[in-house]
Structure 1
Amino acid sequence: MGVTKRFIYTEGINEVANIAKVFAHPARVAILKYISEQEGCICNDLVDEIGLSQATISQHLSVIGDAGLLKGRFEGKKKCYCLNLERFEEFQTLLNSFFIKTTANCC
């Protein structure tokens, strides 16, 4: 979806799409799973664990971060990541309210 067309959708729809984008790629799911199992995570750990290049990991971290699902702090020149649990809770509430309105009108 082109960025220029996002304006035709509600903020809620765009928010669901942004976070759904994170879960639409297996590498991003693997990154989230790995980070969730750590106290903190330096990007180089992700390269070793996930098996993708530093540049590719950084691109995926950018998408995850843009959705607000990561927190980070710098340790020297490296950045440590952890999950933004508050944002995950917000997303869970958003998804629940999104689908609760769905009616069973299907075969």
Structure 2
Amino acid sequence: MSTLVDDDLWSAVGDPTRRRMLDLLLREGSGTATSLSGHLPVTRQAVAKHLAVLDRVGLVRATTAGREKQFRVDQTQLARAVAQLADVGAAWDSRLRRIKRIAETIQRDKDAKNGTDNQQ
């Protein structure tokens, strides 16, 4: 893996509510805790806490708009997260290919042994 995995980042996006918030922010371009809470089954206070987690790991950035903070997805950090996910996926694909080769070798050896035993 060429990209180091950021456990805090993945812990933050591991929560389904936060992933839904990121989807909403990407779709809408920006949002406040109040506007996001209208689309989610959680309170405005819960949304604010989730946004604080996303902000701490850099996935969203806040700007003050009147009395509320306006949040936007940080595209650079999102791209970093996507790269990490691609690297993790590639590593697992490689592991699964090795497991498949091992299983096929075991099966071939077993079939060869059974074929030899049956000929005697």
Shorter-normalised TM range: 0.7 to 0.9
Matched residue type, 2:31: C
Whichever structure has more helix as a proportion of its residues is 2
Aligned length: 94
* Corresponding residue for residue 63 of structure 1: 53
Match of 1:33 among 9, 15, 23: 23
- Kept in 1, the 8 Å contact 2:33–2:51? The answer is no
Mapping for residues 1-107 of structure 1, pairs under 5 Å: 12-13=4-5, 15=6, 17-102=7-92, 103=94, 104-107=97-100
- Tell me, in whole angstroms, the C-alpha distance in 2 between the residues paired with 1:76 and 1:51: 25
1:67-96 deviation per Cα after TM superposition (whole angstroms, max 9, x unaligned)? 211012101120001111111112222333
- Say what the alpha-carbon RMSD is for the aligned residues: 1.8
| 1:57 positional shift | 0.9
Q: TM-score, normalised by structure 1?
A: 0.74
Matched residue type, 2:75: L
Gaps in structure 2 of 5+ consecutive residues: 101-120
